[in-house]
Amino acid sequence: MTYCVGILVDDGLVFAADTRTSASFDDVRVHTKMHVFDFPGERSFMLMSAGNLGTTQAMVSRLQRDLNENASTSLRTPRYMFEVAEYIGQALVAAQAQISTAAMQSGVSVESTLIFGGQIGDEPPALFLIYPLGNCISTSPETPYLQIGESKYGKPILDRIIRADTTLEDASRCALVSLDSTIRSNVSVGLPIDLALMRTGELRIGERIRLDSDTPLYIDIRDNWSVKLEAAVRSLPRFPWEHGERLPSTPPSQAQRPIAPKDPEIAAQAAQQQQ
């Protein structure tokens, strides 16, 4: 399994991903899930992947080959971001078809899902989720982030914090907390974490770092979040009984009340026993 998150705010784009590709008891592997295609001053793209690693590598090789051979359609030819997303979706479908026959016979899934983001020229930055069938969706004002892989554990902080006016650095910290929350709850997602930022208008990947269990920045963010989250829970409003207040008495529940027998004769016998 894996977990990747992409965030779109006014200041730019944030990309964060774990690097674990296998999590059996005696076989833990690390591999980057970020693929950068930078054309400084013209356009800049980032791809993150979840799913079959062979499919992803075949697709990335196809994208690179089209660039090297100056193909009629490549990452440099479309004018708009959604057109690039459609082109990548076609490359993904072709990569899956290339290896699907042998994989289907062995019961192995060849599907991959992608997060694709970037900027072309003066067009605003954009972020897309590309499905195995090649179709895609983009972010919305209500949900300015996209997730792939094991997404449920890291979703709450994104829903509570991320807005269009969130700063790029705050969005990055939220992404790291989102990854850390997932790592704590699911062994198939693991360190190190790759983090990359793309600032609006710069047309290049800017800051990019890898954080591991011994990275001071990651340790500080992880520990501060844990301590302050616990403190926040302890600062929540108190229950009435914690102030010494008595709760109003409540009538006995229906389950506590005797049930009257339906048969008149049995009811008469029960009434005599109670006298």
Supply the pTM of this predicted model.
0.88
Long-range own/partner contacts, residues 139-145 (CB < 8 A, 24 or more apart): 139/8, 144/7, 144/8, 144/9, 145/5, 145/6, 145/7, 145/8
The reported pLDDT for the residue numbered 81 is 98
User: Amino acid letter at 106?
Assistant: S
**How high does pLDDT run on average in the chain?**
91
The reported pLDDT for the residue numbered 1 is 77
Whether the per-residue pLDDT at 140 is higher than 70: the answer is yes
Copy the structure tokens of residue 217: 């920045």
pLDDT classification of 256: cutoffs 50, 70, 90: low
Could you tell me what percent of the chain has a pLDDT over 90?
79
The reported pLDDT for the residue numbered 29 is 84
Q: In this structure, are strands 193-199 and 208-211 parallel, antiparallel, or unpaired?
A: antiparallel
The reported pLDDT for the residue numbered 34 is 98
- As a whole number, mean pLDDT of residues 243-266 equals 64
The reported pLDDT for the residue numbered 104 is 64
Copy the structure tokens of residue 31: 């591999």
- As a whole number, mean pLDDT of residues 253-258 equals 55
Q: Does the CA dihedral 221-227-233-236 come out positive or negative?
A: negative
Name the residue ranges covered by the structural domains of the chain.
Answer: 3-232
Q: Does the CA dihedral 72-76-54-128 come out positive or negative?
A: negative
The predicted-structure confidence for 25-44, as pLDDT tens digits, reads as follows 567 789 999 999 999 999 99
- As a whole number, mean pLDDT of residues 4-14 equals 98
d(CA 67, CA 61) in angstroms, rounded, equals 10
- As a whole number, mean pLDDT of residues 223-252 equals 89
The predicted-structure confidence for 188-217, as pLDDT tens digits, reads as follows 999 999 999 999 999 999 999 999 999 999
d(CA 189, CA 90) in angstroms, rounded, equals 28
Whether the per-residue pLDDT at 248 is higher than 60: the answer is yes
CATH of 3-232, one of 3.40.640.10, 1.10.1280.10, 2.40.50.140, 3.60.20.10: 3.60.20.10
d(CA 30, CA 91) in angstroms, rounded, equals 25
pLDDT classification of 70: cutoffs 50, 70, 90: very high
Q: Lowest-confidence range among 172-181, 251-260, 261-270?
A: 251-260
d(CA 160, CA 167) in angstroms, rounded, equals 14
